[in-house]
Amino acid sequence: MSAGGFFRLDRPLSLAEAAEIGGARLAAPVAEEGVVIIGVAALDRAHAGDLSFYDRPRYAAGLRLCRATACLLRARDLPALPPGVAALIASDPHAAMARIMAALFPEALRPQSLFASSGVSPGAVVHPSARLEPGVIVDPGAVIGPRAEIGAGSVIGPQAVIGPDVRIGRGCSIGAGASLLCALIGDRVIIHPGARLGQDGFGFVLSRQGHVKSPQIGRVIVQDDVEIGANTTIDRGATRDTIIGEGTKIDNLVQIGHNVVIGRGCVIVAQSGLAGSCEIGDFVALGGQSAIGGHLTIGEGARIAAKSGVTRDAPSMARLSGVPARPVRRHLRGELLLDRLARRDGEPPC
Amino acid sequence: MSAGGFFRLDRPLSLAEAAEIGGARLAAPVAEEGVVIIGVAALDRAHAGDLSFYDRPRYAAGLRLCRATACLLRARDLPALPPGVAALIASDPHAAMARIMAALFPEALRPQSLFASSGVSPGAVVHPSARLEPGVIVDPGAVIGPRAEIGAGSVIGPQAVIGPDVRIGRGCSIGAGASLLCALIGDRVIIHPGARLGQDGFGFVLSRQGHVKSPQIGRVIVQDDVEIGANTTIDRGATRDTIIGEGTKIDNLVQIGHNVVIGRGCVIVAQSGLAGSCEIGDFVALGGQSAIGGHLTIGEGARIAAKSGVTRDAPSMARLSGVPARPVRRHLRGELLLDRLARRDGEPPC
Amino acid sequence: MSAGGFFRLDRPLSLAEAAEIGGARLAAPVAEEGVVIIGVAALDRAHAGDLSFYDRPRYAAGLRLCRATACLLRARDLPALPPGVAALIASDPHAAMARIMAALFPEALRPQSLFASSGVSPGAVVHPSARLEPGVIVDPGAVIGPRAEIGAGSVIGPQAVIGPDVRIGRGCSIGAGASLLCALIGDRVIIHPGARLGQDGFGFVLSRQGHVKSPQIGRVIVQDDVEIGANTTIDRGATRDTIIGEGTKIDNLVQIGHNVVIGRGCVIVAQSGLAGSCEIGDFVALGGQSAIGGHLTIGEGARIAAKSGVTRDAPSMARLSGVPARPVRRHLRGELLLDRLARRDGEPPC
C-alpha cells in the first residue's frame, strides 16, 4: 500500500468479499485462486494487492497505467482498464471504495488514542468529581474538569481540555488539544485537534466610551454523529444555545458564531463563517470560504457556492453564489458578461 | 433559564432593580409582590422567572409568544407584548440586557478557571524564575516559562503556554491551549482558547535558490481591555512591534501580520486578515472575512464590510466594500447593475 | 533596540562587517572608530547603535527623521538620509537587512525551547518505544507517542503532540500545542504553534440517510526546509499522500485538504484554502484568503492574487485574480468598468 504505514490492515479481502461489501460486481470471473486485497492506493501508485478506484476523466491517464490488483469503476469506463487488473463495476465507485476501506481499515473510521492508552493515562488530570463511564480512554496531558461526564468508549486525546459540567456521549473522539466548554456532546461525535467549542460569543455593546461585554450564558449543543474539523471555532450562545444538528459534518477552520442553529446532515466546507444567530436548515451545503450573515435563515437543502457571501434569507433548495449572493447561473452570467466587456481583441474568454 | 446550567445566578433581581441596572423603566407598576428575575432566555424559550429582550422585527413572532416574566423592548413595540409579561422600556434593549446579565451572571464576564483551581495547580509547570503576583490562578497543564511575569488576579487556563520573558498584567484570562510568546499584555485582557500570539511573522526574502528567512525580533503589545478570539493568530513584529490598541475586540480565527498597528476601540470580526505593516486607526470596524493589504492605513472610524478586500489607504470614516474595496453604495450600485444586465426575463432581482 | 528584549544580541558588528554580511557598501568612510551595530529598529524608532532600512516611499517621512547609527537603502535614496546616519548602499535593502539580522540574532532564525530546556523535560511524556536522537529538546507538556522518531537537534515545544509512528527529521522546531499525526517531516522544518497536521481529510459519501465517512489512510509528507504557520491545518491523504514540497513557506490559518500536492519553493499567504486533490507547481505564490478548487492543477510559477477563487486549471506563470479567477489585468479592467458605470457625477474613481 503506497500511502500507508499508519493504519493496520484488519484482514485481507477476497475480490468477491470486496465486491459484496462495496455493492459492486466483478466484471469477469477471476482466474487465479486466492487473489486478495491487502491495501488501497491511488491509480498511479497502486501495485499488486491494492484496490484502486476511478471516477473522473481527469485521472484517465492514471487509469491507463494502473497496476492495482483490482479497480472500482463504472461499466462505461471498463474498456480503458489495463488487462490484468480485475474490474469491480459500481455505479458510484467512490462510495464503494469508502465501504471497502472501512472493512479493510476499521481503525481509520474514528481517531484512536495517540498514546496506545487504555483507561486514564498517568499524565492526564481528571478532576475527582468528573464521571467517566467504563472504557473511556484519556491520553496523557488531557485535563477533565469538575463534574464533567464522559460516556463509554469515548477517547479523549492528548492535551484536550474538557471544561466543568461538560457532557460527552458514547463512542466520541476528542482530538489533541481541542477545548470544550459549556458544551453537551452527543454520541459518536468526532472532534478534530484544536477545535474550540463553547468560548464566549463575540457580543459587545459598542460605544466610544468602551465596548461593553455582553455576557454569553448559553451552551453549545452537538447532536449525534457530528464531525467537527481541526481548529474550527464554535462559540456558545448568548441567551440561547448554539446547536449543531445530527450528522452534520464541519470541516477545518470554520467559524460558527453564537446562537447559530444548524440542521441535520449539513456539510460545511473549510474556512466558512456563520455569523451570530443565523439558522441553517437540514441538508444545507456551504462551500469553502463562504459566509452567512447574522440573523439569516438558509432553507433546507440550499447549496451556497465557495466564497459566496449571503446577505439575505435563502429559500429551500436555493443555489447561490457571489457577493452578495444571488442565483448561481445569474451570478456566472454576470461575471461572464463583465469579462466579455473587459476582454481585449484576441484574448481568450475566462 | 432555558439556555443555562453552566453559569450560576449571583442573586435574583426584582423588576425595579433590573430596570435600574439596565437603565430601563417599568411600563406599568407590577401588581404582584416579590416578582423576581432569576434567569434570561430568548423570546421563544423564556418562561417564568426569565428576562428576555426584543429589538428586531425578525423576532416579532417570538415576541407574540413570549412567556417570560419580563421583557426589555422599545416603547413603540409595547403593543405586541403579550399580557402577563412585564415590560421594561429601554431605548437600546440589547444594551440594557447586557448590563442586567452582567449583574445576574458576573462570572460570565470573564473566563474562569476550568478546574476550580486556586493558586498554581499541581499539574502546571512554572519555571522557578517566573514571577506570579498573589492571586494568580494557573490551571493544570499550563506551562509558564523563564522570567515570565503575571499580575494579580489573572487566570491561566489549562495547556496555555506563556513563553520566556512574557509579561501579563492584572485581571487577565488566558484561555485553554493559547500560546503567548514575545508578548507584553496589559490589564483585563481576555485571550480565548487556542489564540497564538508572538510567533514569527511571515517574512522571507524570496529567491529561486530558496527563500531566506528574515528574522523577526519585534514583540506583540496588547493594551488594556483587549479581547482576542479563539484560534486567532497575531505575529510578532519584524523590526518593530505588532500593537493591539486599548479596548479593541478581535473575534475568532483572525490573522494579524507582523508590524500591524491597531488603534483603540476597534472591532474586528471573525476570519478577517490584516497583512503585515498595515495601520488601523481608532474605532475602525472590519467585517467578517475582510482583508487589509500590507502597508496600508485605514483612517479612524472607517467601516469595512464583510468579505471586502482593501487595496489602498482608506480615509477616516470611510465606508467600503467589495474587492477591490470602494465606497459601499457605489459597490452595491455596480453589483445591482451587473445583476440587472445578467437577469433574464421574469427573474426577480437579487 | 526599540522593539526588542526577547532576543539576545549574538555580538556587535562593525559597519564594515555589517556591510560585508549584507552584501552592501558603505557610502562614505566612517570617521569615528568603533562605530558598531548592536540592534535593529524601524526608521522612526531607531537610535544610536541601531541599524535600520528604507525600501519604499511610504516610509519617506521616517527616513527623514531617522536617528539610527546606520541605514540600508538604495543609492538613489541617499540624498534623503539625514546627516549623521551612516549609509549602507544595497540593491535590495530588505534582503541585506535579513542577512545582517541573521548574524546579529541567530537565535531568531528558528524557534527555541520555551522553557530553557535541555533534553527531555520532566513534564513531558515520551512513550518508551519512541526514539529520540541525541540533542533533541522536549519542552514540558509535550506528548510523544509510540514508535515516533525525532532527529538530532529538533526542539519539540510545550504541549506539542507527536502521534504514533510519526517521523521528524533533524534541526526541526515544532511549536507549542501543534499536533502531528500520520506525518513524515524532513529536516530543518519549522512548524508554528497550533498547526494541525495529519487529521482526517474531509471525506464523506453524501446521502440523505446520513453521510458515510470515507476512511483516510494516507499521510502528510513535509519535505526539508518547509515552514508552516500557526493554526494552519493540513489533512492527511485519503488513498494517497498530502505532500508539501521542499522549501515551501505556508503562513497562518491556511487550510490544505487531503491529497493536495504542493511543489517546491511555494509561498502561501495566510487564510488561503487549497481544496482536496489540487496540485500546485513549484514556486507558485498564493495571496491571502485565496482559494484553489478541488482536483485543479496550478502551473509552475503562477501567482494568484489575494482573495481570488480559482475554478479551473491555471497554466505556468499565470497571473490570476477575481472570483472566478481570470487574468489579473482583465479582472481589474472589468472592475474599473463596472465602477465607472456605477459612479455618479462628481464621484472620484475607485
What are the φ/ψ torsions at residue C198 (nearest 5 degrees)?
A: 90, 5
Does A210 sit within 8 Å of B247, measured CB to CB? yes
pLDDT exceeds 80 at position C269: yes
Q: Taking all residues of chain A, what is their mean pLDDT, rounded to a whole number?
A: 94
**Residue of chain B whose alpha carbon sits nearest to that of A128:** B115
Q: Does C277 reside within a domain?
A: no
Predicted local distance difference test score (pLDDT) of residue B332: 93
pLDDT exceeds 90 at position B343: no
Q: Does C105 reside within a domain?
A: yes
* CA pair distance A175, B326, nearest whole angstrom: 42
Predicted local distance difference test score (pLDDT) of residue C208: 85
pLDDT exceeds 70 at position C349: no
Q: Name the active-site residue from A127, A258, A295, A331.
A: A258
Amino acid at A316: S
Treating both helix axes as pointing N-terminal to C-terminal, what angle do B93-104 and B15-22 enclose, rounded to 10 degrees?
120
Contact with chain A for residue B346, Cβ under 8 A: no
Average pLDDT, stretch B184-212?
95
Does B327 sit within 8 Å of C342, measured CB to CB? no
List beta partners, residue A228.
Answer: A191, A250
**Residue of chain C whose alpha carbon sits nearest to that of A177:** C177
Q: Does C184 reside within a domain?
A: no
Q: Would you give the DSSP letter of residue A147?
A: T
- Residue B15 in grid coordinates: 423588576
Predicted local distance difference test score (pLDDT) of residue A29: 80
| Percent of chain C whose pLDDT exceeds 70 | 97
List beta partners, residue A120.
Answer: A138
Does B194 sit within 8 Å of A194, measured CB to CB? yes
* CA pair distance C270, A81, nearest whole angstrom: 42
**Domain of residue C46, CATH code:** 3.40.1390.10
Treating both helix axes as pointing N-terminal to C-terminal, what angle do B328-342 and C328-342 enclose, rounded to 10 degrees?
100
* CA pair distance A225, A241, nearest whole angstrom: 19
Q: Which of A163, A293, A326 sits opposite B350 (nearest CB)?
A: A326
- Residue A133 in grid coordinates: 463511564
pLDDT exceeds 90 at position C32: no
| Percent of chain A whose pLDDT exceeds 70 | 97
Instruction: Using pLDDT thresholds of 50, 70 and 90, give the confidence band for residue A200.
Output: very high
Q: Taking all residues of chain C, what is their mean pLDDT, rounded to a whole number?
A: 94
Average pLDDT, stretch A307-334?
97
Sign of the C-alpha dihedral computed for residues A234, A113, C257 and C211 taken in this order: negative
Predicted local distance difference test score (pLDDT) of residue C183: 98
pLDDT 10s digits, B130-184:
999 999 999 999 999 999 999 999 999 999 999 999 999 999 999 999 999 999 9
Q: Which of A7, A139, A249 sits opposite C217 (nearest CB)?
A: A7
pLDDT exceeds 70 at position C217: yes
Q: Does C37 reside within a domain?
A: yes
* CA pair distance C350, C122, nearest whole angstrom: 60
Torsion over CA of B223, B226, B231 and B234, rounded to 10 degrees?
-30
Q: Would you say the pTM of this structure is higher than 0.90? A: yes
Contact with chain A for residue B255, Cβ under 8 A: no
Q: Does B90 reside within a domain?
A: yes
Active-site residue numbers of C? Answer: 258
Q: Which residues in chain A are contacts of C140 at CB distance < 8 A?
A: none
Q: Which of B108, B159, B252 sits opposite A143 (nearest CB)?
A: B159
Q: Which residues in chain A are contacts of C326 at CB distance < 8 A?
A: 339, 350
Return the residue in B307, B317, B333 with the most chain A beta carbons within 10 A, the one to mutate for interface testing: B307
The alpha-carbon gap from C276 to the nearest alpha carbon of chain B, in Å, equals 21
Does B177 sit within 8 Å of A239, measured CB to CB? no
Instruction: Using pLDDT thresholds of 50, 70 and 90, give the confidence band for residue B349.
Output: low
Q: Which residues in chain A are contacts of C233 at CB distance < 8 A?
A: 194, 229-231, 252-253, 270
pLDDT exceeds 60 at position A3: no
* DSSP H or E run through A131: strand A131-132
Contact with chain C for residue A316, Cβ under 8 A: no
Instruction: Using pLDDT thresholds of 50, 70 and 90, give the confidence band for residue A347.
Output: confident
Does B193 sit within 8 Å of A219, measured CB to CB? no
C300 SS3 class: coil
| Percent of chain B whose pLDDT exceeds 70 | 97
Does C194 sit within 8 Å of B231, measured CB to CB? yes
Q: Which residues in chain C are contacts of A108 at CB distance < 8 A?
A: 200, 215-217
Sign of the C-alpha dihedral computed for residues B232, B261, B155 and B18 taken in this order: negative
CB B165 within 8 A of CB C232: no
Instruction: Using pLDDT thresholds of 50, 70 and 90, give the confidence band for residue C177.
Output: very high
Interface of A with C in 60-89 (CB under 8 A): none
pLDDT exceeds 80 at position C324: yes
CB C56 within 8 A of CB B259: no
Amino acid at C279: E
Question: b/e per residue, A253-274, with b = 16+ CB within 10 A?
Answer: bbbbbbbbbbbbbbbbbbbbbb
Predicted local distance difference test score (pLDDT) of residue A348: 67
Does B175 sit within 8 Å of A159, measured CB to CB? no
CB A108 within 8 A of CB A86: no
pLDDT 10s digits, A13-55:
999 999 999 999 999 887 666 789 999 999 999 999 999 999 9
Q: Which residues in chain B are contacts of A122 at CB distance < 8 A?
A: none
Q: Which residues in chain A are contacts of C182 at CB distance < 8 A?
A: 6
Q: Which of B179, B259, B323 sits opposite C176 (nearest CB)?
A: B179
A258 is catalytic: yes
Predicted local distance difference test score (pLDDT) of residue B258: 98
Does C161 sit within 8 Å of A247, measured CB to CB? no
Average pLDDT, stretch B293-313?
98
Residue for grid cell 435600574: B20
Residue for grid cell 526542539: C155
Does C253 sit within 8 Å of B217, measured CB to CB? no
Contact with chain C for residue A289, Cβ under 8 A: yes
Q: Does A239 reside within a domain?
A: no
- Domain that residue B87 falls in: 13-109
| Percent of chain A whose pLDDT exceeds 90 | 89
Q: Does C96 reside within a domain?
A: yes
Range of lowest pLDDT (A68-77, A318-327, B113-122, B230-239): B113-122
Q: Which residues in chain B are contacts of C342 at CB distance < 8 A?
A: 330-331, 333-334, 337
Number of domains in chain C: 1
**Cα distances (angstroms) measured from residue C301 to each of A142, C252, C323:** 44, 22, 20
Q: Does B163 reside within a domain?
A: no
Average pLDDT, stretch A242-268?
98
Instruction: Using pLDDT thresholds of 50, 70 and 90, give the confidence band for residue C153.
Output: very high
Residues in chain A: 350
